[in-house]
Amino acid sequence: MTQSYSKYEVPPEIKRWNWGAACFNILWGFGNKCYLPLLSFIPIFNIIWFFVCGFKGNSWAWKKGNYKNVEEFMLVQKTWNRAGIAYFIIAIIIILIYVLLTILFLDQLF
């Protein structure tokens, strides 16, 4: 039996990190009717806001969404999480390749 929660009561099982909210904060915000991620447009503040969106994203989405139950919510957010993790891994790989190529290029100059 699934327990039902009110719109304003955040279930404990969804209070966890959300990669989609962290990595795609603005797109994720529009998709989940949460507009606080728009604060990511503020320079420097957006570094901190990456972590805030990741930690609080599920709570915001639960309060703004019209989900019937936790399972439906988790199904929607699972897609965002997969995309966010993929984006994060690809970004790290690109940064590492850039750093390695820069080191190799600078090594050839001297």
Query: Residues 36-58: what's their mean pLDDT?
Result: 95
Give residue-wise pLDDT tens across range 16-38. 999 999 999 999 999 999 999 99
Rounded (10°) CA dihedral 4, 9, 10, 12: -70
Q: Which pLDDT band holds residue 65 (cuts at 50, 70, 90)?
A: confident
